[in-house]
Structure 1
């Protein structure tokens, strides 16, 4: 379709909520106003619905290439648009690891053919690929990813010289996974000595400890300050780490930013007894106090964006014993619903959800003409019904893995429509189009 008219929507954008119409032409928002009367190829009556900028998820693992028994770009972008996420940035720990420009381009070509959502891919940094990292184009690549702690698909960068060179020379934003590997190895050895193979999921936050997170995040901040690098620390999981970040500087001027993930805002270590390995993530879900401090830091701007770290594994993989089960889980389909529940609970406002999932992500990554509902911008939009409950069941989970940590939970809201680059990609429970996503561009 080339034109779309949305009537009577409660538009949540840039700190306000206003009932207005939006007219979309050739993928972009052409008019925002009252009682727009124009012919269109499709019209949506949004009376009673809230219209938000589509979520921009700056951290997902869609598993393609090489791990497509778990997920792929097509299946996970379907889940994304069904959940109101219109753009994603995907991580390099696929197989092979995305450590060359050729492998990076391969992923873009897959997405161009198959992604329903807008997309970008991180270039992976290793101990010995600085030459390839330096070729990264800041204009059309979201950033460089550095694993300062090992995770699924070991891309650990533990060479001090390599780290210093990356932070000194990276041509674009550096996103880091921060957990101190030496601390984790020592903790794991201690627990194995005490419990052997009988280690349980409840021990996960002690093994991948708060101290490991704080040590690594502190190191990353120090490296960034020393080299004036543009650093973005992913998935903050402890209250202590939040003290590393400044909330007195406008976001567009920050050189060091950070992200919180939905699971660290929703779950705590009390949930391991019922959820088990289904909430096994790296970094680990930690205490209720950590969860509350992370939320506080999100709301007072010590933490800048909210994302998912969507990282599906098969049900069989997650049902293994603690030591064998991989870390990670599917979240893109239900992230916005979880945040809207937090709005209903009085923990944050709709305006704050929009700020942290769309506006701030666009500012943080300098994304061109996305993340806001503005005339001339790309129409990346999601319409939600805040008063229509939605229950997560096996039959409506779109991630290829077929399970969710939210299974059987009833959310208070429903995603009604998702529009990606002006195309209706999801409507009332159905995927509408394939291949509607565009490659993200960046103003840098």
Structure 2
């Protein structure tokens, strides 16, 4: 007897839309077939009219634990994630203390165990002086090595050229980079201060965090990766110009890949007047032409992965002036609904959406048994109603920070059910009673 049968769904998987039934036994998918309706099961979901997809694998989040938990923590932000159809996340190292050694990595895994509603992995952060930690890293201990090759919060800016060369030469797993050129940004900040004083308008942010600053750093990273044959993943591309650095086509076989984030696919410089600090992030939301170019690059395959860079700050922190308001915005609860709006608008196919948000993160990071609807894989599943709506209200927001840049917007889809390892993490507007998230493993 199966634990769960999902009947009459339209599966979005591996480039196809297929009507089929899915059986779940324990933590895994036991069967996928045209008709399993006669099979005995403890629970049955009639998914007529719904689409079933693998859970989103978000390769870039900041859940703020340890040390910054007034903004968010593993429990609160993973709850928001599963409500948004994200079943696995990879969390960044710029917390307090920084995740720059094996002990700090293990501490985060211990914190997540039994508290995270979604599956989890953590990055080892690079600094100017932890090269030996990187060289000795157990490939199962981290999803990747995160390198801030530009302005960074905390003490994580890697600006020593010899150190960067050594990281790219010796990193035993994927290197993920934040690419912005710090000296160029500092010069732009000084110019803005001369013009506006401390009252710099937020609309100046994409000029301060400029296209040139992004290009200089990302082209440097790509050059290093080509020199050392590094497995490089460039995070949150924001400019159309940078797209020429990346080859079009399928991810398989690529040594250099690129990511786009949902807010850079949604907002443009026109939104600063309305939202101000709410959409201040690094790298910056830029021109409509950049946003549209990145959307097109998803279809071409120059952009391989869609993520969130979920980075909550309190509402009070975001009320500061330009130089005082921190960069980052909360996104995991509404990432997939925003992507489905691109589908409804004809900008993304369902197949491309699932490829970039589910399949490719699993492939790029060598995640074991996740990211696809396949027999034997973990049952990380999302049921979506493309005919329903999701209104973003303050009451519905699950982030600890309590706000969203999408507040007041109504998305043209609804996340009905999220299963994590076969357990109900989210169903019909309610969080599941039990915690099902677990540490992911890698085919390394």
Q: CA deviation at 1:191?
A: 1.0
Corresponding residue for 2:51?
50
Corresponding residue for 2:416?
416
Q: CA deviation at 1:146?
A: 0.3
1:127–1:159 Cα contact (<8 Å) kept: yes
Q: Which runs of structure 2 are paired with 1:169-248 in the superposition (5 Å)? A: 169-248=170-249
Q: Deviations over 1:109-168 (max 9, x none)?
A: 111121000100000100000111122221342100000112333411011111111111
Are positions 1:39 and 2:40 aligned together?
A: yes
Question: How far apart in 2 are the matches of 1:157 and 1:237?
Answer: 21
Question: How far apart in 1 are the matches of 2:364 and 2:298?
Answer: 14
Q: CA deviation at 1:344?
A: 0.5
Are positions 1:271 and 2:271 aligned together?
A: yes
2:9–2:21 Cα contact (<8 Å) kept: yes
1:368–1:442 Cα contact (<8 Å) kept: yes
2:114–2:437 Cα contact (<8 Å) kept: no
1:116–1:433 Cα contact (<8 Å) kept: no
Question: How far apart in 1 are the matches of 2:68 and 2:354?
Answer: 32
3-state secondary structure, aligned to 1:405 = coil
Corresponding residue for 1:107?
108
Are positions 1:89 and 2:90 aligned together?
A: yes
Question: How far apart in 1 are the matches of 2:419 and 2:153?
Answer: 32
Q: Which runs of structure 2 are paired with 1:282-301 in the superposition (5 Å)? A: 282-301=282-301
Question: How far apart in 2 are the matches of 1:327 and 1:425?
Answer: 30
Question: How far apart in 2 are the matches of 1:414 and 1:273?
Answer: 29
Are positions 1:116 and 2:117 aligned together?
A: yes
Question: How far apart in 1 are the matches of 2:312 and 2:41?
Answer: 39
Number of residue equivalences = 443
Q: Deviations over 1:283-321 (max 9, x none)?
A: 000000001111111110011000000000000001111
Question: How far apart in 2 are the matches of 1:184 and 1:73?
Answer: 32
Question: How far apart in 1 are the matches of 2:343 and 2:131?
Answer: 43
Question: How far apart in 1 are the matches of 2:407 and 2:137?
Answer: 39
1:380–1:420 Cα contact (<8 Å) kept: yes
Question: How far apart in 1 are the matches of 2:165 and 2:435?
Answer: 39
1:2–1:27 Cα contact (<8 Å) kept: no
2:2–2:40 Cα contact (<8 Å) kept: no
Question: How far apart in 2 are the matches of 1:367 and 1:82?
Answer: 22
Corresponding residue for 2:99?
98
Q: CA deviation at 1:251?
A: 1.5
Are positions 1:167 and 2:168 aligned together?
A: yes
3-state secondary structure, aligned to 1:57 = strand
Q: CA deviation at 1:68?
A: 0.2
Question: How far apart in 1 are the matches of 2:400 and 2:357?
Answer: 24
Corresponding residue for 1:404?
404
Question: How far apart in 1 are the matches of 2:278 and 2:21?
Answer: 41
3-state secondary structure, aligned to 1:93 = coil
Structure 2: runs of 5 or more not aligned: none
1:122–1:142 Cα contact (<8 Å) kept: yes
3-state secondary structure, aligned to 1:116 = coil
3-state secondary structure, aligned to 1:22 = strand
Q: Deviations over 1:19-42 (max 9, x none)?
A: 111001111111001221222232
Corresponding residue for 1:19?
19
Corresponding residue for 2:319?
319
Q: Which runs of structure 2 are paired with 1:249-260 in the superposition (5 Å)? A: 250-260=250-260
2:105–2:141 Cα contact (<8 Å) kept: no
3-state secondary structure, aligned to 2:177 = strand
Question: How far apart in 1 are the matches of 2:298 and 2:384?
Answer: 23
Q: Deviations over 1:225-264 (max 9, x none)?
A: 111111000000000000000125x422111001000011
Question: How far apart in 2 are the matches of 1:42 and 1:127?
Answer: 53
1:2–1:41 Cα contact (<8 Å) kept: yes
Q: CA deviation at 1:2?
A: 7.7
Corresponding residue for 2:28?
28
1:4–1:24 Cα contact (<8 Å) kept: yes
3-state secondary structure, aligned to 1:388 = coil
Structure 1: runs of 5 or more not aligned: none
3-state secondary structure, aligned to 1:114 = coil
TM-score (norm 1): 0.98
TM-score (norm 2): 0.98
Q: CA deviation at 1:85?
A: 0.3
2:127–2:155 Cα contact (<8 Å) kept: no
Question: How far apart in 1 are the matches of 2:75 and 2:45?
Answer: 26
1:101–1:135 Cα contact (<8 Å) kept: no
